[in-house]
Amino acid sequence: MRAISIGVGALAAALAATPAMADALLDNANGYTLDEDGNLTRFTGMLFDPETGRVTRLLSRRDDRPREVDFRHDAEGRTVIPGLIDAHGHMMGLGFGAIQLDLSDTASLAEAQQRLATYARENPTLRWIVGRGWNQEVWGLGRFPNAADIDAAVSDRPVWLVRVDGHAGVANSAAMREAGISAETQAPEGGMIERDGNAPNGLFVDAAMGLIADRIPTPQPPVRDIAFQEGQDLLLSNGVTMMHDMGTSQSDWDVFRRAGDTGQLRVRIVSYAGDLDTLLDVAGDRMTAWLYNGRLRMNGLKLYMDGALGSRGALLLQPYADAPGQTGLSLLDGVGLRNRLSRLALDRFQPAVHAIGDSANRETLDAIDDIADRYNDDRRWRIEHAQIVNPNDLPRFARHGIIASMQPVHQTSDRTMAEARLGPDRLQGAYAWNSMLRVGSRLAFGSDFPVESPNPFPGLAAAVTRQDANGQPPGGWQGHERLTMPQAFAAFTTGAAFAGFAEDQVGRLGRGLYADFVILDRDIFDVPPEQVRETQVIETWVGGERTWTREAQRRRQQSRNAPPMDAPVGPMITDDEEVTEGR
């Protein structure tokens, strides 16, 4: 017995002296994550299980590394952070935008017309031309574009171009003819048709957009799948490993499921259905389980209270400063909102309510006040955008655990437009991130892609500086609403994870959480804020799998730049495969 006892003791000592064998090791990292209490912590190595894709241990510089691992990846001293989460985006809109006409970087109407005409020449088989991204404010047009502007570029087939915010679209004359639009056509409730005299001039706002969009041929599944893969690549290339899809349709969900079934779902998606029928058909009577190893889940329903500020659809308490006769569009009244919130709450579905104007935000807060007391458990009511809030209403975001799901890049993009729409005296509660934190609300940050770029690093920079890429305005716009870098980082990680009931899966790096991480070209916590927006992603990992690398992208681009002599010009989309977001 004595000999056996000695042998066991020696074995125990040996095991204690040698770190346990791990399957995979990320080493030599300048790592940052948040701990369970929200504090920024450092690490230099990470052990994870490739089978489950979950972290088993974070390592400091002093910790011994395993002598043998199945896989070791050297971060080469680069900065490693948890995968970033976009709390508000439109997955298929991003993907379709990548294969449709993109006007988001046009600086003038003339440039947009030239690009449209070129696109039409290069894609002669398209029966409809669909695009998005125009912004009359950037163009300095002083008005919205109209059918005559589009006819000047393309008049031989229908054209439909959606504004950057997705809340207005302009059609050419051929599109209006095909949709049967005439002087007698009336806008549906929650929509507006702009007219010259009695005649529609081609601009359709919010609910009226469906008069044109519903006539566009539905994209076929193969085209939808291509668009989805393009969207995934864009997200991964920008370090986004999870996104919250706002307004998922049944066909969108089918795309996500096909990708999951074939092992091509590389980004995690938390879905909010675009209509109640889709929610009930997909989820039944409760949130779905996590599918595909935590890659897909449907949580609830996206609701719209109003439109957007740029198209003057945001619902305001007082008239627009630059349009005194208008206060915006009500897309859902208070009774309808309360009915929907009650219906969702009965089955524990999570509502995500789009509210941009101060009147829409107040009505949403009123409705949550009326409903929430009946459900004293963890409901995580979400208000999407919360862009313009009356200062008296800001403290109300602390009640009932309301999540302010906001997009920092909207502030830098909208600054001058917001000043024109509201005037200087009504901006105290505009894009009020720091105020939200001070009153006790939770922040979840995103980009609202494809309205804005899916790149989260300009969003981080904007949150910290309240300045655009040109450093304007000096000192930051309403600088008291600036955040610290750890606060902004939390909103893009743990805050966004919490907003989607995913904090036990992602948002930080720690034992039992998924090994979703990003390797960067710079230390975002140790460079001037203006340099954060220039951050480049080197590698993106999801669930312990390397899903994107900058080097692989470079090689693909080189290959694409040398097409065979007989390569077709433009995207391979036929008449019945027209691409449109369909929202």
The DSSP-derived string for 518-566 is EEESS-TTSS-HHHHTT--EEEEEETTEEEEEHHHHHHHHHHHTS--TT
Nearest-angstrom CA–CA distance, 519 and 71: 17
Residue 62's contacts (CB-CB under 8 Å, 6 or more residues apart) are none
Residues 211, 304: one domain? no
Residues 163, 301: one domain? no
Residue type, 219: P
Q: In this structure, is residue 83 part of a structural domain?
A: no
Residues 212, 305: one domain? no
Nearest-angstrom CA–CA distance, 116 and 160: 11
Q: Which of 505, 487, 471 is nearest to 404 (CA)?
A: 487
Residue 41 CB neighbour total at 10 angstroms: 15
Residues 198, 337: one domain? no
Which contiguous run of DSSP H or E holds residue 7?
helix 2-17
* Helix/strand/coil for 206: strand
Q: In this structure, is residue 496 part of a structural domain?
A: yes
Burial class from Cβ neighbours inside 10 Å (0-12, 13-18, 19+) for residue 217 reads middle
pLDDT of residue 22: 54
Residue 276, CA distances (Å) to 213, 243, 282, 351 in order? 20, 21, 10, 11
Residues 390, 520: one domain? yes
Residue 550 CB neighbour total at 10 angstroms: 15
pLDDT of residue 561: 63
Nearest-angstrom CA–CA distance, 431 and 415: 10
- The 10s digit of each residue's pLDDT in 492-516 is 999 999 999 999 999 999 999 999 9
Q: In this structure, is residue 174 part of a structural domain?
A: yes
Write the CATH number for 353.
3.20.20.140
Which contiguous run of DSSP H or E holds residue 136?
helix 136-139
Q: In this structure, is residue 406 part of a structural domain?
A: yes
Residues 189, 305: one domain? no
Instruction: Note down the domain range covering 364.
Output: 295-536
Residues 474, 344: one domain? yes
Residue 436's contacts (CB-CB under 8 Å, 6 or more residues apart) are 386, 394, 397, 404, 406, 443
- Number of domains present in the structure of the chain: 2
Residues 307, 192: one domain? no
Residues 320, 468: one domain? yes
pLDDT of residue 581: 32
Domain boundary among 162, 188, 218: 218
Give the residues across from 483 on adjacent strands: none
Residues 301, 444: one domain? yes
Q: In this structure, is residue 419 part of a structural domain?
A: yes
Q: Are 349 and 301 in contact (CB under 8 A)?
A: yes
Write the CATH number for 165.
3.10.310.70
pLDDT of residue 567: 33
Q: In this structure, is residue 69 part of a structural domain?
A: no
pLDDT of residue 578: 31
Domain boundary among 182, 200, 218: 218
Per-residue pLDDT of the chain (583 residues; tens, 9 = 90+): 333 333 434 333 333 333 444 589 999 999 999 999 999 999 999 999 999 999 999 999 999 999 889 899 999 999 999 999 999 999 999 999 888 999 989 999 999 999 999 999 998 988 999 999 999 999 999 999 999 999 999 999 999 999 988 889 999 999 999 999 999 999 999 999 999 999 999 999 999 999 999 999 988 999 999 999 999 999 999 999 999 999 999 999 999 999 999 999 999 999 999 999 999 999 998 999 999 999 999 999 999 999 999 889 999 999 999 999 999 999 999 999 999 999 999 999 999 999 999 999 999 999 999 999 898 789 999 999 999 999 999 999 998 999 999 999 999 999 999 999 999 999 999 999 999 999 999 999 999 999 899 999 999 999 999 999 999 999 999 999 999 999 999 999 999 999 999 999 999 999 999 999 999 999 999 999 999 999 999 999 999 999 999 998 888 877 766 544 333 333 333 333 332 333 2
Q: In this structure, is residue 156 part of a structural domain?
A: yes
pLDDT of residue 562: 53
pLDDT of residue 1: 33
pTM summary value = 0.85
**Residue 132 in tokens:** 């998005």
Domain boundary among 218, 248, 263: 218
Q: In this structure, is residue 324 part of a structural domain?
A: yes
Residues 207, 330: one domain? no
pLDDT of residue 5: 36
